[in-house]
Structures are given as structure tokens and as C-alpha cells.
Amino acid sequence: MTLRIGNTALSPQQYRDVAAALQDTSGSTSFAEDNDQLKQFAEMEVLAARARKDGLDQDHAIAAKIRVAVDNVLAHAERDHLYAAATVTNDDVKQKLDSHPNAYDEYALSHIFIAIGPTKSGGQRSEHDALLKATQIKKKLDAGADFASLAQAESDDPATAKDGGELSPMLGMFVANEFLPVISQLHSGDVSNPVRGKQGYHVILVQQRTVATFDNRHKMIEALLRDESVESTITQWMQNTPVEFNKSTLDGQAAK
């Protein structure tokens, strides 16, 4: 016996299981050295035992909460089980990588955004003027101008202009469809011609591009394939499981 609370005794393995289950809230897989966590757990167990003695677990509202909590834990456990059981081979990973060129490349990008319509100065800019300005910026960059300085001075994207136009690193799959075909043709250090986005033109600097290979993307793609297998299985189960909700049975009835 490792822990006793009233009439409840936990063996070493039961204690380890309980401590692991509480890790999300306690932040530790063991509360052996933390009296506060031990006290909180003991208090929870004492209150739960009293609630059962008082019949509170039979109350319809509380019973419903218990059911939802238990089903939620089981649903997550089944997802984890499906994920671990999915069969993903090296050939599967290679096929996924080969069939989605550029999607798994990682890009470190900066951009200068020239808006069509309202500008950061409060004015209005036509599409013609936006393209003209973006083209002039590209010419300055080709002539040796500093990208970050131009972004700070000219970009209409206030969220990135202050950082010299720098964007968070991202995989190709998360790059907007209008930009990926352009940047996928560039190398580290290259700057694009103006690219039309939804709200204006972008001049894009590829600071660094890490090309995806089997070795550097294997684990990520395997995880994606496992996720796809899980979702496919769940979709199939749902298609084979009738779900019917009869709202009319609730009409005119007050919640009890």
C-alpha cells in the first residue's frame, strides 16, 4: 500500500496511475514531495466518497456530468488507440512527400504589402497605383536597398512592418495558394516580383528555404498520416451509426 485515504488504499501501481492521470492539472507525474497536491487529492477523494454516500451520483444532472466526463476520457483514449494502431510505412511517407511537392518545405519569409483601397496613411489607392508602387519597391530592392528598411517605411501591414516585414516561419502547405507557386520557384535570398493577393500586392523575400526530405520530414508526415487514418476511421464509424435528434419531443417542456 502506497497511499491510504480513509477506507481507500492505493497500491504503488495504482498510485502511479492516479498521479499520471492528474498530471495535466498538477503539472507533475508524482505528488510524493508536494504536500499541497497530496492534500488536494485527498480532499477530492473525501468529498467524492461523501457525495456517493449522500446519493449525489444518482442526481440526474450530476449523473449526466459524470457520463459526459467519462465518455470524453474514453473518446480521447480511443483516438489515441487508433493513432497508435495505424499502419504507416516508409513507402507511405515517401508517397505523401512526393505527391505534395513544396507542401513540406519550410519557408522563412518577409513581405512588403501594398494595399489596394485604404492605406495606413488614411488615403485610398487604386489597383494600378498599388502595382506601380510595388514594382518601384522591387526595383529599389534589385538596386540594393535594404528590405527591412523598406518594409518599415512602405508596408501597409502594421503587424509586420515594425519587424521589417518578417513573418513567422511556415510550411508550404500553410502558404496562401496565390503565393506558393511563386515562392516555390525562389531560393534563399531571392525576392519575388509583386504578387497579387486578396487585398493588394506583396513583394516577398525568401530569407531561408529548407527543402523537405524523407529524413527531415519523416516524423511529421507519419504523424499526419496517422491523423488521417484516425479521421477516416471515425468518419466511417459515424456513417454507419444512425444519429437522430427529435426536437419536437422537447417543445413546450421546461428543463427539469
Predicted confidence (pLDDT) per residue in 98-122, tens digit: 999 899 999 999 999 999 998 777 7
Are 20 and 26 within 8 A, CB to CB?
no
Are 6 and 45 within 8 A, CB to CB?
yes
Predicted confidence (pLDDT) per residue in 161-202, tens digit: 999 999 999 999 999 999 999 999 999 999 999 999 999 999
Are 102 and 210 within 8 A, CB to CB?
no
The region of weakest confidence among 126-130, 171-175, 186-190, 251-255 is: 251-255
Would you call 118 helix, strand, or coil by DSSP? strand
Q: Rounded distance, CA 203 to CA 183, Å?
A: 11
- The mean pLDDT of 30-59, rounded to a whole number, is 89
pLDDT for the residue 18: 87
